[in-house]
Amino acid sequence: MTAVWSLNEIQSLAQKAARGAGYDFGLAEDAGQAVRWLLARDLPGADALLTACDVSRRAATEHCPLTVGCAWSDGLFETKDSTPRSVASPLLLVPFLSWTAQRTKTSLCVSWPGAAFALSPDGGVKLRGQTVNPKGAEVRVETAIPEGLIELHEGHRASVDCAIYVALGELAGRTYAPPTEASRQSGAGAGLTDND
C-alpha cells in the first residue's frame, strides 16, 4: 500500500533516516535532497535510500551512492565519459549528476544495465529502461545522449510505499534521545495526556 506525502515531509524523514543509518550531517542533508528530487519525478527515491542505508553498513565508501554522488557534484570526478563505477543503489546518483549537469552546463547520460537517464543543463530529465532501482550496478557517465528517452516531469507530491515509510521512520528513530525519568519529571513529552 502506498500513501501520498508532501515532498517536505519525505525530505525531512529521509534526512533523519540517513542520520540514523550513520551518515554525517552533510551527507544526510544531501540524501534528503536527493530523495526529494527523485520522488518529485515519480522515481522510487525512498526505496533507493533504504537500500543505500542497508548496504552502506557493509559496503566500502567508494560504492556508497551518497559519497560518490557528492564527489561527482563537487567536481572530484571527471564527468565526461568516465570509466564504469560499481555503486550500490545507483538511482541515488541521478540527482547529484543532474546538479552537476546544471553546474557545468553539460548534458550527461548516466546509465547502468537496464536504465539510462539523460540530464540536461536546464534541469530536464529523460529516462529509458525499466531497471531504475537496482540494489547495485556498474554505472557509466557519458556526454553522448542516446535516442528514445521519455521526459520525466516534476510533481509536487510523493507516493511512498507505507512499509518503506515505516522502515525510514525506524532509522530516523535512532536519532531520538531516549526518555528518562528525569526528563519526564522536568516536563518533557506529553505525559499521560496529550492535549496539544
pLDDT digits (tens, 9 = 90+) for 145-184: 999 999 999 999 999 999 999 999 999 999 887 777 777 7
Q: In what order do the strands lie in the sheet with 85-88?
A: 85-88, 136-142, 108-112, 115-119, 125-129, 150-152
Give the separation between CA 50 and CA 17, rounded to whole angstroms. Answer: 8
List Cβ neighbours of 61 (8 Å cut-off, separation of 6 or more).
Answer: 67
The answer to whether residue 187 is domain-embedded is no
The answer to whether residue 77 is domain-embedded is yes
Amino acid at 84: P
The answer for 16, left when phi > 0, alpha when psi is -120 to 50, beta otherwise, is alpha
**How high is the pLDDT of residue 160?**
95
The answer to whether residue 85 is domain-embedded is yes
The answer to whether residue 45 is domain-embedded is yes
Amino acid at 129: G
Q: What is the DSSP letter of 79?
A: -
**How high is the pLDDT of residue 121?**
96
The answer to whether residue 120 is domain-embedded is yes
The answer to whether residue 63 is domain-embedded is yes
- Asked whether 138 and 170 are in contact (CB, 8 A), the reply is no
**How high is the pLDDT of residue 43?**
97
The answer to whether residue 162 is domain-embedded is yes
| Residue span of the structural domain in which 7 resides | 2-176
How many structural domains are present in the chain? Answer: 1
Q: What is the Cβ-side half-sphere exposure of residue 85, based on CA atoms within 13 angstroms?
A: 26
**How high is the pLDDT of residue 195?**
58
Question: Which residues on neighbouring strands pair with residue 6, listed in sequence order?
Answer: 157
Low-confidence ranges of the chain (pLDDT < 70): 56-60, 79-81, 188-196
